[in-house]
A and B are shown apart, each in its own frame.
Chain A
Amino acid sequence: MGRLQIKKVWVDREVESAGLTRRLLDRLAGRPVEIVDNVETVKRAIRLQSDPVGESKKNLFITTQKSFLRPCPCTPGCLGCGYWTIDLDLNCPFDCSYCILQDYLDCQPLTVAVNREQLGLELEAFFKERMAGIIRIGTGELADSLALDELTENSSFLIETFRGQDRFWLELKSKAGLSPALLQMVPANNVVLSWSLNPAAVIKSEEKGTAGLEERLMAATEAVGHGYRVGFHFDPILHYPGWHQDYERVVESIFRSIPVETISWISLGSLRFPPGLLPLARRRFPGSRIFEHELTRSSDGKYRYPRPLRQWLYKQLAGMFIEFGAEDRLYLCMESVEVWREFKEKIKRGRRKLTFPFPWQC
């Protein structure tokens, strides 16, 4: 909890006396606490500050979530990966310049849901309903899966809920270090702990508050040592002078300590963001230059690097992974069919059949 900079805790009156609320409040002792009727009161206080996004990350709201599970919407025109998301926490204490939540969450405070038993029931029903195939489910779409884990210990709850459900793979995706709770548990075969990676210099300039590259790799190494499967996300890949060498170093450093067999997947995705983020990020990160790169508006309305450059970036990165025999772990995140097709041909060429259980690779 050392890194968490929570200024104030707001508690939804409905869960004031819930057991988990009391435990969270104990762990957050010393912070001012206010009981409120709904999130609007918190949002109102946040809106009145001159940096509402920054402020939203310092106000923690304890509440319930109406429903938790939903299919990942991916983005129009892109090839989805059949992912499902669990919205257990909302918002994130870290502050990445490119984070789309800045634009998406509209003053939503750092939100922790305490009605986990309802999530348990939803998952139970989901496990029964979905009869075929392997389904990946993660908590890292509207939050960082582990950023608040020391506080909530949600990871332990989720791992226990998924244990034995072999067709359902839980992914906990993060830019934080490893939470101690995870090392006290017996790992489950269908749980993947994954880290988003970027070169150290990018982490320093664009991913404020997150664990450094070494800490993330150390966490992954420890996780593997403890028996977990791991995954990596190169997302967003950033293009800048010297990027190739920087990314090569990151890829090399993965395989220095992590055997390829323990890696379940590695995703590649290049910088992309909705137009609303542009003024916001420029204002909040005046020193960042990543938004001034050559960008184009794609059919989903998002800004991205031009397609020729994206393809080239993926090809270069794939080349780096091929050296370590990890090409069959790669997939692209939120990419068009055209880019996917080219990419797949490249990594498949002359090699064994790709076996990873994603629908598009069957």
Chain B
Amino acid sequence: MVYKIIELSDLNLEDRRFHFTLNQADRRLLHSVKEIGVVQPVIITCRQNRPVLVDGWRRVEAARASGLEELPALEMAENTDDLAVFLLAFFENYGQRSFSLAEKSMALRKFYEFRLNPVEIIERLLPLLELSPERRMLDLMLELSFLDERFLEIIHRRDWKPVTVELLLGFPPAERTWLFLVIEKLTHNQQREVIENFYSLRRKTGKSLEELAEADELSGPVSRLLRGEIAAADRLLVALKEANSPLLSGLQRKIESEVKALNLPEKIRLNYDRTLEKPTLHLSLEAGSVKELKEALQSLVMSLENQKWNRLFRLLGYEGE
């Protein structure tokens, strides 16, 4: 490689054939470039007589934002084929940080398009990327890489796992776009749970996402999320879980209302296994003295006359459809 100083304006940044990273120049990098310029050379090569960027996208972004006109570069020979150039771009980054799933998918697609043998991609690169070395994983990653870059960025930022991606790709393209609008600003766990629940509901009912979202309990939180109100995420998740789990949510609601109706003193707390696998109650008492303990126990014993306790235990041990 040849070291040179290049004019930023000469770089053909439209040619993104070697681009597969999604991190953007952050404040610290911008600050550092403003102070001392770009010290570590970017890597370039020539295509159609113009320099194209191989590695150093964040540095170039920071340089442009800082108004730099020139920057140091290492130039790879023009006759190096795309695959060899990309291997360098890939491994240059590989040693420095781990990639998000979106970036992995973009990198794998480049390898595929630069005609690296699929068997080699599966057996050599997938394990390097901590993905299972199977054909179907490569297929999944290639399918992911075809998503709009806006969506890839969301997947990148929230560090999605393959299982969530697979669910997402199970929706028709128009529904994916709608889903992204709903979940864009949520945390990764919230995104995953919303997708999982919508996926299951969709398969169960055969309805489209928009049809599902018209249901009374879902329409409110969905419209709020579409307006950017992320606080509605919890409400949406509760509604989705209730729709997918009517038996347990119905029982839980009844149990909670019986517990409330018992009207126990604050220092006595009741708890139970929300999955109802164990049909038992857990009681805890708070007391700072023997007197307080006696009082708590007495009020508990007195409350046992209340029929509500029986109803509570019947609900916990309920068996039925």
Contact = CB atoms under 8 A, between A and B. Distances in A.
B321 A294 contact: no
B318 A308 contact: yes
Interface string B212-250: 000000000000000000000000000000001111100
Contacts of B244: 294
Interface of A: 44, 47-52, 107, 239, 279, 282-283, 289, 292, 294, 296-299, 306-309, 311-312, 315, 336, 338, 342
A292 B203 contact: yes
B170 interface: yes
A347 B293 CA distance: 43
A306 B279 contact: no
B204 A296 contact: no
Contacts of A52: 134-136
B318 to A, nearest CB: 5
Contacts of B167: 279
Given A47-B122, A48-B119, A338-B277, A294 B136 contact: no
Contacts of A298: 275, 277
B166 interface: yes
Interface of B: 119, 122-123, 133-136, 139, 163, 166-167, 170, 200, 203-204, 244-248, 251, 275-279, 318-321
B200 A292 contact: yes
6 contacts: A48-B122, A52-B136, A294-B245, A298-B277, A306-B245, A309-B320
Contact of A279 (B119, B123, B166): B166
A296 B134 CA distance: 30
Contact of A47 (B134, B170, B247, B275): B134
A268 to B, nearest CB: 14
Contacts of A299: 277
A238 B278 CA distance: 22
Nearest to A46: B134
B165 to A, nearest CB: 10
B319 A311 contact: yes
A49 B135 contact: yes
B164 to A, nearest CB: 10
B284 to A, nearest CB: 21
Nearest to A298: B277
A322 B164 CA distance: 46
A296 B135 CA distance: 31
Contact of B246 (A279, A294, A315, A342): A294
Contacts of A336: 277
Contacts of B166: 279, 283
A341 B123 CA distance: 50
Given A282-B170, A294-B244, A307 B276 contact: yes
A307 B275 contact: yes
